[in-house]
Amino acid sequence: MQQNLEKEIDERRQGEALEMQNTPALVADRLLYIESYGCAMNFADSEIVASILQKDGFATTRNVEEADVIFINTCSIRENAETTARNKLKQYNVLKKNNPELVIGVLGCMAERLKSKFLEEEKLVDLVAGPDSYRALPQLIALVESGQKAVNVLLSREETYADLSPVRMNSNGISAYVSIMRGCDNMCTFCVVPFTRGRERSRDPHSIVKEVIDLHNAGYKEVTLLGQNVDSYCWSENPELRGKALKEAPKEQIVTFAKLLEMVALVSPNLRVRFSTSHPKDINDDVLFAIQKHHNICEHIHLPVQSGNSRVLEIMNRTYTREWYVSKVERIRELIPNCGITTDIIAGFCSETEAEHQDTVELVKWAQFDMAYMYYYSERPGTLAAKKYPDDIPEEEKKRRLQEIISAQHASQTQNFSKSVGKTFEILVEGVSKKSNDELMGRTTQSFVVIFPREHYKIGDYVNVEITGGTRATLIGKAVK
């Protein structure tokens, strides 16, 4: 198996290097400005949009005032994302007074949910496109230019954009996102993603490897494989295997996420491989063994827990218990002792009692997460929770509970970082420190951010750094041989 994989990777690497040399430059007729918010999937999707429109004569610009088309790509996961998008659209409509031909559109998950409101009620946009309709953007723009409003929010069971090469916008030239699947089948009651991104479908692994080889040949040193639930990635050459039949097929007939990880890791031992996001019910030992086996697969797993109480997890439809989650964390630390584990937590979900909240606080203290995204519950229209459960926790109480979780997590991070002092980590340099041009910033394999003196090092270097101190969120160190 490994010999076959290595042969395939080597052949593809040679072929893609030759193809890159023969690719002609494109001349742009018009300028596209895209602003992205929300999850990493949105940022990756914006790069797909730029690729599609590049073929239609567009180049991207960072100057919104010179753009012919302005898109906002954002999510509906939290209310503040919608508020931010609405405020931005109002700002951009001011530009339209001086440039009536300017096309303004909203893309992504929010597009599907708020299409009528943005188009008809508030008249903030000319164009609305959902996550599966980006190939139609040239036609939608043409409709707008002919004086019509344009909408396409149809979901697909097939679309993965596997044949497209994303345009790397605002890239540091070192790290890149690679989307491996789209949609989600999990139906967590608080989440709108299954309704805005559709059913889960995995991308052809050969196209993923091709994209990674392209990135490696272009000088990139790190890729992050993206999916709503990467551990449920599953693909087969057999077109008759779909849905449940695919998931239940013998392992030798399918490419699992563990196999895909290995295929990507074999592109180059000098290319770091990350992935996000994992679901506690799906991550398995095969994935952990792949991390063990390949030095370049980063020892970091983002494993959202959402709540530390089994009853709350049940009404969230997370399909695991507190005990299951604890056993997963223990197994990760058994097989990968130095693994960084990060998480997501929601405070004040529907009907959560004070005792159940304290279960979450205690889990945070036990787990010693290296980092956590923590929020209080915000009911999203269209979700199962909005239909089934009253949002009955007062906002002030949600905020109090959230602050307790944040305090527990910050204590864990401080303790974890103090244990790093005196240790040496291999850092991939990603950029210059925000505070000083004399310092560089990079991350460990566990995804810890490290700042150290620049000296003669440069972006893209691997550097061994001894940790000398740090804050709650950042480690400080010095380069060592």
Tell me the per-residue pLDDT of 88-119, one tens digit each, with 9 for 90 and over: 999 999 999 889 999 999 998 877 677 777 77
Domain ranges of the chain: 26-152, 310-332+340-419, 421-479
Helices (H) and strands (E) in the chain, counts: 15, 21
Average pLDDT of span 299-304: 98
Options 1.20.120.450, 2.40.50.140, 3.30.70.930, 3.10.105.10; which CATH number does 421-479 get? 2.40.50.140
* Three-class SS state of 361: helix
Tell me the fold of 26-152. Rossmann fold (3.40.50)
Are residues 206 and 83 in contact, defined by beta-carbon separation less than 8 angstroms?
no
Q: What is the mean pLDDT of residues 300-306?
A: 98
What's the confidence (pLDDT) of residue 193?
Answer: 87
274 pLDDT exceeds 90? yes
Mean pLDDT confidence for 194-222: 94
Query: What fold is seen in the domain 310-332+340-419?
Result: Transcription Regulator spoIIAA (3.30.750)
Contact (CB, 8 A) for 332 and 231: no
pLDDT digits (tens, 9 = 90+) for 136-184: 999 999 999 999 989 998 999 899 999 999 999 877 899 999 999 999 9
Give exposure, 350-381, as e/b (b: 16+ Cβ within 10 Å).
bebeeebbebbbebbeebbbbbbebbbbbebe
Whether 12 shows a pLDDT value over 50: the answer reads no
The reply to whether 421-479 shares the fold of 310-332+340-419 is no
> Which one, of 373, 363, 352, lies nearest residue 328 by Cα?
363
pLDDT the model gives residue 246: 76
CB 425 within 8 A of CB 444: yes
Stated pTM of the model: 0.88
Torsion of CA 227, 473, 418, 446, to 10 degrees: 20
Contact 115/122 with Cβ under 8 angstroms?
no
Cβ atoms of 470 and 417 within 8 Å: the answer is yes
Residues in CB range of 37: below 8 A, 6 or more apart: 72, 73, 74, 75, 81, 84, 85
Q: pLDDT category, 28, cuts 50, 70, 90?
A: low
Indicate the average pLDDT of the chain.
90
